[in-house]
Structure 1
Amino acid sequence: VNGLVQNAYQNGDLRLLIAPYNVKPLTTRSAQSLFALNDDIHYQTRTFQSICEDQKPPSSVSTYQSVLHHHDEQSKHDQLAAINELSYGLIEPTEPWQRQCVLLRDSSFRGCGFRLTERQNYDTPIVVEVSPNSPAKRSGLTEGDHVIYIESENIQNFHSFNDVIDIIHRTFQENGQVTLVVLTSPGYRILKRRGGYLESRVFNYQSPQIDQMKLRLCKLKLYNFEYDFGFTLKRDKLLYIQSIEQGSSADVYDIKEGDVVLELNGQVTKYLIMNKINEIIEISKQERKLDILVIDMNGYEFSIKHAIPLNSNLPFIQIREES
């Protein structure tokens, strides 16, 4: 949602379609990790706490005012249609794994670099913002994550939200790192449907040991005689590489036909309409360089199946660049 709002801000237009959403609560079952997994009424008054010392929480008033501009009605309709088309038909996780995110202190960044909230009737704190190039971003932490363990302590053992914030701050400052075990929001919803039972597998971003996910950050550069990166893109729910020109920059840097494009110059592509994507590429041509994060389709499906978010700051990424 944050990404869609940011994209709407860049395009100067935001439309919201709102409808009531009611789900009957599941019958409570005995579970080792999470309890009282009941549905709540969304968007209640929430308490936010920043774990990012160098940034202040943005003002929600100024944010929403800034996207209320008048634009051409047809243009707004086209943008909304593109976003709606992208929102449906994507792969849902079927076997969500817990993820172990190790936040390592970095002298170039003050604090952990993320914000937590507590929401009424939820029994886990939720990550609502992750700062770029922060320890949180490099750990694999993602907006929407539900925190279920801090170090080896079950989140249910903490008496209050403030206790959670305190232990994260204190552990990070004293030890130079803090380990969080989390689930994505879709993974958490599936957990609720299953009555609270977690998959035993824990994915560790520091040592993933997963052959199926070969994530590649290709740092393309154009030589003086080149005018194009040598690939074409196609959007069919996902953004992927349609074709590669032999001998081009994309070919040299190991981009393959059928690769799923996750980021362009650090911007997550699933939140971008095609006009914005084309704009990024055209500007990159002028600047003679483009960072493109790709993964093969099998790897992408694996990451979705097990609810493992990916980004270009992760420690196990294969970086392809000119030596």
Structure 2
Amino acid sequence: MRSGDVQLPLMRETRQRELSVLWDTMELMERFTFNPKEGIDNPAMVIADDTEHVSDPSLRVCVLKREEGETFGFNLRVERGRQGHVIRQLVSLGVAERSGLKDGDRLLEVNEMFVDNMGHMEVARRIQVCGSQLCFLVLDGQAYEKAVSEGRDLRELAKADRGEGWRPPRLCHITRDSSGLGLSIQPVEGEKGKFTVSKVNGGAAEKAGVKKGDRLVWINGAMASELTHSAISKMVKKCSDHMTVLVIDSESEKSYARRKMPILPAMADAESMPYRPRRLHLVIGAEVYGFLLKQEKAGAGRTGHIIREVDTGSPAELGGIKEGEVLLEVNGEPTESLGHDAVVNKIRQSGQKVTLTTMPPQGQEFYTKLGLSPLLFCVNVAPGCPVEKREIMMTLETTVPPVEPQEDVQINPNVRLCVLKKGSVGFGFHLGCVQQKPGTFISQVTAGGPGQCSGLLQGDVVVEVNGQNVEKESVEDVIFHVKRGGSSLSLLVVDQRGFEWLKKNGKPITVNQLATTSEVENKISKAAEPPTD
């Protein structure tokens, strides 16, 4: 384990009078040392000259785009006596100032992710990993403080700016099957540089999340607006077994056009993306974590910090560390630009706990070819015993993309009350959630375990835990409810397609939809019996 210092920018205090009000400073003028020639920075996106749009007079959208070797030209601070993340020290005629940012602005969103309630270091990290282009939603200082004093919901204020019916773009990784990629791309008549995507029902593209009528924004790292239809057709034909596209529905595309915003991969839902980096939480045992860290060549002429010799039963194995993976972060700080000893020192200085972000080396090569930072797509894995023995695992991704039912089709929701008794493998299922979205689903069911025997299916949406509705609760809270029930558990679940249909039609999901009261009570009473194993 050898660690070092990441260039998370530290602010240089230039004015003595600011010392009394400065809590935490972070200079975002220094670049995150990703080399765009190696494909880490986001590809250039088309932006409009006028970057201001407001549904509320005080809200402003600011689009920042820097060239290689250029800084964003501002500092982000948390200041004593002021709430929020404060924009300070704009470079005259720099990227930030040209975008419309002003001294004292409060940062609400970074690439459409709400950050006002996040810690300062996490906000700075999100800015760094986004590459060469950012979209900020800001409020001027006076308007921000007035909104806070009035108790206004800033998240809802930001959401309202996007308009009704808005949905984020989607990054879809399509893996060719026996019938091909399952899509066709055609130019939109009368709209130069715009293309629509048609999918084959049940095909590879649909499985990856492509929907009928989607607009193509980006394909394998290249902006569709900068390509001809002929060039796109050649790209599709030349791809071997997979391709990655950024798509958006036509109504949401209008929302971006109205707000004069580019559509960036950093804004996208990325449920089908492979090689998601895992953020793992380790607790030290016997003064060691139980793995070796080596600096080795990791392909594409790159050098990486590689995990080696993971000891059986060690904190590293218990935390999910895998042999041969690349270490990307230590406690949220990127390691790419650090030497071996610096990385090791960072791990040692973490004390009894450390958070490591890792990914297979082929994943690093995959994201490099796309021109994206893999740190955009991190998955947080809850601490616990070895992955294969975990009773419940929290992730922030789904292996089963949500299914949107067709509007004109009657759905028969598969609502079930699944009653479980804890066995030798626990309850025998994993829980998952989609980042920034409410709701918890069954991400994995152990073969032959209590979960499978009770009727749980992968992809089921969890509606109730032991009779308590959890539709709007976080996955952490759902895990708490599960554990609180002891050795017995009842879950009211429904298939994803049925869940979407019921919600769309305003229908509640209750045990009354699945069985008589006596049948339900009988199931629950059996679950309350003491375990026999």
TM-score (norm 2): 0.26
- Point out the structure with max Rg over C-alpha: 2
Comparing both chains, which one has the higher relative contact order based on Cα–Cα distances under 8 Å and sequence gaps of 6 or more? 1
TM-score (norm 1): 0.41
